[in-house]
């Protein structure tokens, strides 16, 4: 499934031109660097509803965008 992102600089573009960016966070209550990395990479929150996300337009204007997306659609 593919979707499009409305870039304010380049217009409507396919998601394949963008890279998803996340706010880095680590759960300090987990002992060991390997276990923390595993938690950060694979144990993601997936809330239903409106999500605020950061995307980098790598194959366009090369700027970061902050988007609000409804994950129910």
Q: How many helices (H) and strands (E) does the chain have?
A: 1, 5
Which CATH architecture group holds 4-25+35-70?
2-Layer Sandwich (3.30)
The answer to whether the CB of 17 falls within 8 A of the CB of 60 is yes
| Residue 65: band (very low, low, confident or very high) from pLDDT cuts 50, 70, 90 | very high
Give 66 or 1, the one with higher predicted confidence.
66
The answer to whether the CB of 55 falls within 8 A of the CB of 62 is no
pLDDT for 25 equals 59
Which runs of E-coded beta strand occur in 22-71? Answer: 50-57, 64-70
What are the residue boundaries of the structural domains of the chain, listed by start?
4-25+35-70
pLDDT digits (tens, 9 = 90+) for 15-57: 999 999 875 556 677 788 888 878 777 777 777 888 888 899 9
- This model's pTM is above 0.85: no
């Amino acid at each position: 499934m593919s979707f499009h992102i409305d870039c304010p600089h380049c217009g409507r573009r396919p998601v394949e031109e963008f890279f998803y960016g996340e706010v880095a966070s680590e759960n300090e209550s987990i002992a060991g660097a390997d276990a923390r990395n595993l938690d950060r990479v694979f144990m993601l929150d997936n809330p239903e509803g409106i999500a605020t996300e950061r995307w980098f337009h790598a194959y366009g204007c090369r700027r970061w965008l902050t988007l609000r997306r409804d994950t129910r659609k």
